[in-house]
Amino acid sequence: MQRDSMANTFVVAFVLCGICSLIVSGSAVGLKKFQDENKALDVQKNIISAAGLAGDEPLTADRVKKIFEKIERKLVDLETGDYVDEGKAGIKIDTYDPRKAAKDPKLSVSNKGTKFDIGMGAREKYAFAYLVKNDQGELTQVVLPIYGKGLWSTMYGFLALEKDLKTVKGITFYEHGETPGLGGEIENPTWKALWPGKKIYKGESSDANIAFGVKKGSPEGDEKEYLVDGLSGATITSRGVDQLLKYWVSDSGFGKFLKKLSEPQGGSNVGA
């Protein structure tokens, strides 16, 4: 076969493609473990940041690990508000993935008819809640995963509540596809700083009294206790944040769990 023949050109091209695809797929497989670890670290950093525990020092992997020694992860059955019993639920808590569960008919429930709209047909039956403790082992905060649709994407974040379970400690979003400078401003520290101290309920803790959220235009008078100014040029993203916050504290989300956590440990298995 001549070196510059058509056949030779094809052979060289195929061999080169084969080698390149082996390198690309090999590195994708080899780096997957590191990618997963980095994703998990990023999620933990966001939990810490929502809870206001980051302080001024950089959040290195070691520091995150140390801070997480005081954060207990619990899997909650959102229908009952109780902690999940692995055996009865037929799942492994260590490997349970809420995002996959939300797409699994056996591990999800429909969102049809819910009072608040996160723009998703169903949500997972079981969700993780993070209990933050002090050195004496007392509950100081609860951090809840939250998500819902914005304009372009599903926005994933965390909502941290003070130990009264009625006051916002902080909010973060760690994954979304909203437009930078518009909906993407949900990540802006100045906007996030508007949340701590907002009251969730006007009156007793119940779905009917959920009053916190996002308002188009500046909140005035009493509204300031509950509402945050919407993002300009991003009404749809702002509405998404408003709805997802309300949804996740309502009985469609963590409402039943929050009630059980605020009561003495009667018949339920929920406690700090």
Site residues, ligand FMN (CB under 6 A): 151-152, 178-179, 182-183, 232-237
Stated as kind and residue range, the H or E segment containing 122 is: strand 122-124
Considering only CA atoms, which of 49, 256, 39 is closest in space to residue 143? Answer: 49
Farthest-apart Cα atoms in the chain, separation: 87
**DSSP output for 8-40:** HHHHHHHHHHHHHHHHHHHHHHHHHHHHHHHHH
Query: Least distance from C-beta 99 to ligand FMN, angstroms?
Result: 22
> Tokens representing 118?
């996160």
Query: Least distance from C-beta 42 to ligand FMN, angstroms?
Result: 21
Stated as kind and residue range, the H or E segment containing 143 is: strand 139-149
Query: Least distance from C-beta 204 to ligand FMN, angstroms?
Result: 33
Buried b (16+ CB within 10 A) or exposed e, 45-78: bbbbbbbebbeeeebeeebbeebbeebeebbbbb
Cβ proximity to ligand FMN: between 71 and 182 the closer is 182
Query: Least distance from C-beta 240 to ligand FMN, angstroms?
Result: 8
Query: Least distance from C-beta 105 to ligand FMN, angstroms?
Result: 31
Cβ proximity to ligand FMN: between 153 and 269 the closer is 153
Cβ proximity to ligand FMN: between 122 and 236 the closer is 236
Alpha-carbon span 137 to 51, nearest angstrom: 16
Cβ proximity to ligand FMN: between 121 and 217 the closer is 217
> Tokens representing 90?
């037929």
Cβ proximity to ligand FMN: between 145 and 184 the closer is 184
Query: Least distance from C-beta 53 to ligand FMN, angstroms?
Result: 29
Please give the distance of CA 235 from its chain centroid, rounded to a whole number.
Answer: 21
Q: Please check whether residue 176 is in contact with residue 150, taking contact to mean a CB–CB distance below 8 angstroms.
A: yes
What end-to-end distance do the CA atoms of the chain give, in Å?
Answer: 77
Cβ proximity to ligand FMN: between 237 and 243 the closer is 237
Cβ proximity to ligand FMN: between 183 and 253 the closer is 183
Query: Least distance from C-beta 152 to ligand FMN, angstroms?
Result: 6
Alpha-carbon span 99 to 126, nearest angstrom: 10
